[in-house]
Copies of this chain bind each other. A is one copy, B any other.
């Protein structure tokens, strides 16, 4: 194991306090003593013991990141940005994945609290008053992104507006029949609202609002697990040409794949639009029309807010990052 400040002190014939002053650039030390101490520190390759330091200081210089999925490309990019932003400020990140499991998510949060992380960036898969009370009881700064929790600081895209504008874009591409695809929403009632899908829900509301405020459009919703089969059937049935608006690029990819197998051409036989602008879309032919924000902006902004809270400053409860429509070849 590495040498300690106690031993350094003995070697230098000074007290531990002085060693500490030298190491942490604190004032009240002769610059010669400082040099002498730092000399020995280098010589013996002293490594600070951050655990002891954390205990003493009461802060761990680490932040927790809780995601419900890391396999989703969007979240892995987000983690990357977050880790970098944290490291730039001397913080390390604990990244953990809940897999959308209620108990896991709670367990992870408790564990992070036990590790006395200085802040938590959370993509919640849970909602409800009890959960929010639990989060508050941790007494740790928390910023959410993705799904929203009332009363908790939140940084994200304005899902409602983004979906509204997407529907508008679809209409301007000449479609009068829009089918919104969002399988996560099927769980809405089933789980008595415990699952947090506010983000998806807002997207659905955004589309609906567009339909409600503009005459002459027809909206269908596909929330079932077998949405791919059903979408194929809808196209086969004919009638007014449909634009499938997917609440995530993932569903758009699945649709496109199946359409290709079935000989359904996009956009000849049906329109298609996604959400998130996953970077793998660059390799997909035809280019899928989608809407999104920059992951980097989102991650950076969320960390800005989190660090504000950590340092005791105030920050707005709600912060939207800009989004934009990314035109492709599928509408």
Contacts and interface: CB of A to CB of B under 8 A. Distances in A.
Contacts of A48: 114
Contact of A45 (B60, B92, B137, B253): B137
A194 interface: no
A51 interface: yes
* Secondary structure of the A contact surface, majority rule: helix
A287 to B, nearest CB: 10
Contacts of A256: 283
Most buried by B among A51, A54, A110, A284: A51
A73 B70 contact: no
Given A115-B50, A283-B253, A97 B76 contact: no
Nearest to A83: B97
Given A48-B114, A50-B116, A92-B94, A70 B60 contact: no
A52 interface: yes
Contact of A51 (B110, B116, B280): B116
B70 A92 contact: no
Contact of A96 (B1, B55, B92, B110): B92
A215 B80 CA distance: 47
Interface of A: 1-2, 45, 47-52, 54-55, 60, 62, 70-71, 73, 76-77, 79-80, 83-84, 87, 92-97, 99, 108, 110-116, 137, 139, 253, 256-257, 260, 279-280, 282-285
